[in-house]
């Protein structure tokens, strides 16, 4: 098992956000974290990457307690792409992606480091902007550069927080295909928070539904992407279509909130 989360609890101050979260991810598995706004997806990813410290429970990466790892060790193991792109000092796209090699660079950048970066820029269609200032890119372009940086780390684990939120349809598919093929070919374990349930269904081996601080459902998309689960987690009626292999949903209507009482209306 590459990732093992055991009975994790997390609070911001006195406000609990995650309770009793247990999760296992194997080599080569792509797991999507889904759930409404504020359900704790980002918080969970940050606990996995030692950015946040859980109140209780453990996170083991490759069998080792993440709280006992130093930053270099963690960076070799895990590539994290935050939700809202970072602002960097003026630096080129090439140099930002090269930062992903930092855990491996001892005295100076090697030819191999540069080749890895060039290959990734080509693979992700970023070659033409290699010498542009990162801060001048569009939101989607920045997102792709940060994903390339995470890949440059050659990690065993990828933690991606809404990696496709700023991407157009074609780039969404390109990035998700890249994550999926890297997972399968290199045995990387990926945990990805997402809002697009259909994209999650198409590319994940497992989906994790978070609701009210806890895991509400976990399993293969065919098992858990059901109208009942979507209603319970999001409060939306859906039709689930299964005619193309993986299930995909067609949202109908949000469930009606209880009608306001006469007293409330006239107040
Ligand atoms: N730094 C913080 N301090 C206090 N509360 C926070 C902090 N960051 C997040 N929260 C709260 O923790 C809860 C979970 O937030 P989190 O960002 O993990 O959710 P999410 O599922 O990633 O949401 P979204 O889908 O909107 O990105 C929310 O109620 C949020 O308001």
User: Which pTM value belongs to this model?
Assistant: 0.90
- Cα(107) to centroid of ligand 1, in Å? 39
The residue length of the chain stands at 267
SS (H, E, C) the chain: CCEEEEEEEEEECCEEEEEEEEEEECCCCEEEEECCCCCCHHHHHHHHCCCCCCCEEEEEECCEEHHHCCHHHHHHHEEEECCCCCCCCCCEHHHHHHHHHHHHCCCCCCHHHHHHHHHHHHHCCCHHHCCCEHHHCCHHHHHHHHHHHHHHCCCCEEEEECCCCCCCHHHHHHHHHHHHHHHHHHCCEEEEECCCHHHHHHHCCEEEEEECCEEEEEECHHHHCCHHHHHHHHCEEEEEECCCCCCEEEEEEECCCCCCCHHHHHC
Confidence of residue 261 (pLDDT cuts 50, 70, 90): very low
Name the residue with higher pLDDT: 84 or 29. Answer: 29
Q: What is the pLDDT of residues 228-255, one digit of tens each?
A: 999 999 999 999 998 778 999 999 877 7
Q: What is the mean pLDDT of residues 38-52?
A: 96
Dist. CA 54–CA 70, nearest whole Å? 17
Question: Residues 6 or more apart from 2 whose CB is under 8 A from it?
Answer: 25, 26, 27, 61, 62, 156, 157, 189
Tell the residue number behind the tokens 């065919």, with chain if given. Answer: 222
Q: What is the pLDDT of residues 135-160, one digit of tens each?
A: 998 888 888 899 999 999 999 999 99
Domains and CATH numbers, the chain: 3-254 (3.40.50.300)
54 contacts 133 by C-beta, under 8 angstroms: no
Q: In terms of Cα–Cα distance, which of 103, 108, 97 is closest to 150?
A: 97
Task: State phi, psi for 222 to the nearest 5 degrees.
Answer: -60, -30
Asked if residue 37 has its Cβ within 6 Å of ligand 1, the reply is: yes
Candidate from 11, 13, 17 with most ligand 1 atoms within 8 A of CB, to mutate = 17
pLDDT of 240: 93
Give, using CA atoms, the residue closest to atom 16 of ligand 1: 40
Candidate from 41, 49, 81 with most ligand 1 atoms within 8 A of CB, to mutate = 41
Confidence of residue 55 (pLDDT cuts 50, 70, 90): very high
Asked if residue 43 has its Cβ within 6 Å of ligand 1, the reply is: yes
Count of beta carbons in the 10 Å neighbourhood of residue 106: 5
- Cα(193) to centroid of ligand 1, in Å? 13
Which token pair is 267? 């107040």
Asked if residue 33 has its Cβ within 6 Å of ligand 1, the reply is: no
- Cα(246) to centroid of ligand 1, in Å? 30
- Alpha carbon dihedral 118, 139, 155, 105, in 10-degree steps, equals 50
Q: What rounded mean pLDDT belongs to the chain?
A: 89
Candidate from 43, 159, 233 with most ligand 1 atoms within 8 A of CB, to mutate = 43
Q: What is the pLDDT of residues 85-139, one digit of tens each?
A: 666 678 899 999 998 888 776 667 788 889 999 999 998 889 999 999 999 988 8
Question: Residues 6 or more apart from 106 whose CB is under 8 A from it?
Answer: none
In Å, what is the CA distance from 37 to each residue of 33, 50, 78, 199?
Answer: 12, 22, 25, 17
Give, using CA atoms, the residue closest to atom 31 of ligand 1: 38
Q: In terms of Cα–Cα distance, which of 89, 5, 84 is closest to 50?
A: 5
Asked if residue 16 has its Cβ within 6 Å of ligand 1, the reply is: no
- Cα(29) to centroid of ligand 1, in Å? 25
Q: In terms of Cα–Cα distance, which of 49, 51, 56, 67 is closest to 9?
A: 56
- Cα(169) to centroid of ligand 1, in Å? 27
pLDDT of 130: 94
pLDDT of 40: 96
């Amino acid at each position: 098992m590459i990732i093992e989360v055991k009975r994790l609890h997390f609070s911001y101050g006195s406000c609990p956000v995650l309770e009793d979260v247990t999760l296992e991810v194997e080599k080569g598995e792509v797991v999507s974290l889904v759930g409404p706004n504020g359900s704790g997806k980002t918080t969970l990813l940050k606990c996995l990457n030692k950015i946040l410290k859980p109140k209780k429970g453990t996170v083991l990466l490759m069998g080792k307690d993440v709280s006992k790892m130093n930053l270099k060790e963690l960076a070799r193991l895990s590539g994290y792409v935050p939700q809202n792109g970072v602002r960097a000092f003026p630096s080129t796209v090439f140099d930002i992606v090269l930062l992903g090699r930092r855990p491996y660079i001892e005295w100076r950048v090697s030819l191999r480091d540069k080749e890895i970066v060039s290959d990734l820029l080509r693979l992700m269609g970023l070659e033409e902007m290699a010498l542009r200032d990162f801060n001048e890119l569009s939101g989607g372009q920045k997102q792709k550069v940060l994903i390339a940086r995470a890949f440059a780390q050659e990690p065993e684990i990828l933690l991606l927080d809404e990696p496709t939120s700023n991407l157009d349809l074609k780039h969404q598919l390109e990035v998700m295909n890249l994550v999926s093929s890297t997972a399968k070919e290199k045995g990387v374990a990926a945990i990805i928070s997402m809002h697009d349930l259909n994209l999650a269904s198409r590319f994940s081996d497992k989906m994790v539904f978070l609701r009210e601080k806890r895991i509400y459902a976990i399993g293969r998309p065919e098992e858990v992407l059901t109208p009942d689960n979507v209603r319970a987690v999001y409060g939306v009626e859906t039709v689930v279509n299964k005619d193309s292999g993986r299930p995909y949903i067609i949202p109908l209507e949000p469930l009606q909130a209880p009608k306001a009482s006469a007293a409330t209306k006239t107040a």
